Chains A and B, each alone.
Chain A
């Protein structure tokens, strides 16, 4: 019991989120009769305060204090969790602001949506901290169930419902396969604790049998990060979900999926080999498995993105491709790969959410998600076009934008690990990606709109949001040093021996 009480002091961000969840639910009940606008503003305010509180406390906790296990070794409070917590909070804050400006969510009571957003933010933190098979599965399912509900939030909308149904069926199958894999792993090792699993695997070789189990488990993790061949849900769900939810799914669960991936493979399936490197245990070559996933995911994501005409589908495939790039870093088998993934996600957060912010603002005036509807945007709103250009160049990885830095981390880690061929495939993919990002820009700048072209007006909130998202992308290189220092913390994974 005293262990639980002690753990609570290291659990502040999650506690704040749960507190805000309770307040939002109660406030939602008491404001049912109030006009929609005032109740929505109140609820948004409560959720925002909760998320900001979680952001501040998780930032303070970052790198402070020794890494230690929490709640009877269910969670590890270490550098990896420390770096991921602020990423989740920032994502949710931006998504909340996007939700306030989204035309799709206008006139809809947002109480449940905000409750889901707060829950899922806390659940992402639980995912990133899990060092026990029960916790990995339970937190992953909590994130999933909340995501299904967020996708189907517009319950009178056919697309939203269809997307949600597809998502839950595909998700339940993937997590079911993962659960079966976890149960076999439990049988092989006789323990649910990730460190115990590693110790048991180090004693005996399980070989191909273990590899099959790992493929089953990779199905669940691959579903969360939208890695091929577990990505089939992704384009349809991204298209059907309310756009702020799509923006959230493309960053939050993906980031948490990578945290679980690192913990499961780097802590549970490998032991330290000195100098920050790790060596797989149990006789299963999971590095090869991850490399195959990375190559398939990148290539499929980029090639399929070339064919898209809907901007949400395009961003869906682009997010699959980015997952492939980050998977390359997971093949490195040293803490460099962990830092590369953390740095990539920190930057990806701003560039991808930025692109979605432009999509949401454009939808307010065009009412469409087709790329063709962006024709003539350069004349209608140079500001929005420039912002989109910055986000897309950043996603391409072109200097001096922050996306270049993200790519640099990944490729440096991959090349240092002697995986030159993988880096070559990655560079080829980045070249392909440039085509579809530029295609969007070409439509915005060169193509002429046929109908009337009223200039676009934006509220102060829109401008503030765009500035907040643009600045990190433009000035990324200036903050290289601080980014390096912060993400370096992620290399301290909790070692219990």
Chain B
């Protein structure tokens, strides 16, 4: 049987990797991927605690709702990326001055 702590170590590592990605990546889609890692790490915690600490399904329901929210956020974020891409493409992509200001 895998002890609770091992799940927590894995989720902590996943969370830290997500934080690293958020801090260092400059591409919007890549930051989005790192954020998904953070959501997944929290979900591992929730499900593990649901089994080992609460002994009921509250954490699993929470994790399920988190998956739904993550899907919504990803859809909206990618719609924004597409929309921005369309605008920027027409302006002039290499002209990053406005983007940086």
Contacts and interface: CB of A to CB of B under 8 A. Distances in A.
Interface residues of B, number: 40
Contacts of B77: 148, 165, 168-169, 172
A191 interface: yes
Contacts of B39: 176, 179
A53 B80 CA distance: 33
Interface string B51-79: 00111001101100110010011001100
B81 interface: yes
A177 interface: yes
A187 B35 contact: no
A172 B22 CA distance: 10
B2 interface: no
B94 interface: no
A158 B32 CA distance: 20
A173 B22 contact: yes
Interface in A175-200: 176-177, 179-180, 182-184, 186-187, 190-192
A169 B42 contact: no
A176 B18 contact: yes
Given A134-B62, A176-B35, A187-B49, A168 B73 contact: yes
Contacts of B41: 180
B13 to A, nearest CB: 13
A169 B32 CA distance: 7
Given A134-B62, A141-B69, A183-B45, A152 B80 contact: yes
Contacts of A133: 62
B35 to A, nearest CB: 5
A161 B81 CA distance: 8
Given A168-B80, A186-B59, A145 B73 contact: yes
Majority DSSP secondary structure for residues of A touching B = helix
Interface in B17-51: 18, 22, 28, 31-32, 35, 38-39, 41-43, 45-46, 48-49
A162 interface: yes
A149 interface: yes
A186 B35 contact: no
A155 interface: yes
Contacts of A339: none
A398 interface: no
Contacts of B54: 186, 190-191
A61 to B, nearest CB: 27
Contact of A169 (B35, B43, B46, B61): B35
B65 A134 contact: yes
B10 interface: no
Contacts of A138: 65, 69
Given A173-B22, A186-B49, A190-B49, A162 B42 contact: no
A196 to B, nearest CB: 10
Contact of A149 (B18, B61, B62, B76): B76
A149 B72 CA distance: 12
Contacts of B62: 133-134, 137, 183, 186, 192
B49 A183 contact: yes
Nearest to A193: B58
Nearest to B8: A187
A187 B48 CA distance: 9
B84 interface: yes
A158 B88 CA distance: 7
A30 B66 CA distance: 34
Contact of A141 (B18, B73, B80): B73
B80 A177 contact: no
A184 B59 CA distance: 11
Given A145-B73, A161-B84, A173-B35, A179 B98 contact: no
A173 B21 CA distance: 11
A177 B98 contact: no
Kindly name the residue among A152, A155, A168, A184 whose own CB sees the greatest number of chain B CB atoms within 10 A.
Answer: A168
Contact of B45 (A134, A145, A155, A184): A184
Contacts of A179: 38-39, 42, 66
A172 B31 CA distance: 10
A156 B32 contact: no
A165 B81 contact: yes
A148 B74 CA distance: 12
A157 B87 contact: yes
Contacts of A169: 28, 31-32, 35, 77
21 contacts: A134-B61, A134-B62, A138-B69, A145-B69, A145-B73, A148-B77, A152-B80, A155-B87, A158-B84, A161-B80, A161-B84, A165-B77, A165-B84, A176-B38, A179-B38, A180-B38, A186-B53, A186-B58, A190-B49, A191-B54, A192-B58
Given A173-B22, A180-B45, 13 more contacts: A138-B69, A141-B73, A148-B76, A161-B87, A164-B84, A165-B28, A169-B35, A180-B15, A182-B42, A183-B46, A186-B59, A190-B53, A192-B58
Please provide the 8 A-B residue pairs with the shortest distance between their CB atoms, ordered closest to farther.
A183-B45, A176-B38, A161-B84, A187-B49, A179-B42, A155-B83, A190-B53, A180-B42
